[in-house]
Every structure is written in structure tokens, then in C-alpha cells.
Structure 1
Amino acid sequence: MNDKMNDPECVTRKVKVAPHDYSKENLLAIFTPQKQLTPEQIFWSNDLMKMKFEALKEQTK
């Protein structure tokens, strides 16, 4: 890469030599898809929602 940066032809034409950005390429490598909830997780999430609803209901009284 340094050879390209110091090449007289590249300097006169003002060619930009930048390193490749691999973070954009590797974005899908770190992506984790959502998984379905287990029945136990669904049960506890529904229970939690009921408790939040009741707490909000009491606050508005």
C-alpha cells in the first residue's frame, strides 16, 4: 500500500488509497437472529405484563 501512496503517478492524479473497512463486511457475521420463546419464558413474560398492568391501574386511581 505504501508503494501506491508513494507512486508518482498516483500522487499527480491524487488517487486516494484507503484501507478497506471490514466492519461493514463483517456486520452479518455478528448478527444473531431472534429466537422463539420457550413456553416457560412466555408464561413469565405474560405474568410480568399482568403485574405491570395492575400496578399502573392502581397508580391511576
Structure 2
Amino acid sequence: MYLGIGAGLFDEMRALGQIGPARLIKGRKLWDIRDLDMAFDALPREDAPGIGVSWSDA
């Protein structure tokens, strides 16, 4: 589990375009670790302004 997420969330992120398409080798889908790293780097950070909801916002 390279990104720390399950197959369901991976598929959801693929459907949303947050993770790019696979490479193909004889019909087998493979994701380049560098592509996954770039997708991961593009995700918002927990400490970014406007991310998340605090208990005082609830």
C-alpha cells in the first residue's frame, strides 16, 4: 500500500482525475511510482489555510 489508501479510494481518485492513467504492459495496468508521487504532492496539506473543519466551526 504505497499511498496509504485502499483500492476503493484509489479507484475514486482515478475517477476524479486526481491520479493519472496507468501504463500498460501486455494488458496489465501498472502505475509509475513517480506519477503517484506527483499526484500525492498535488494533494492539499492538512495545515493549508481553509482546509479542514475545527470543532469551533461545527
Q: Which has the higher contact order (CA 8 A, sep 6+)?
A: 2
Structure with the higher fraction of residues in helix conformation: 1
Task: Report the TM-score, using the length of structure 2 for normalisation.
Answer: 0.29
**Higher Cα Rg: structure 1 or 2?**
1
Task: Report the TM-score, using the length of structure 1 for normalisation.
Answer: 0.28
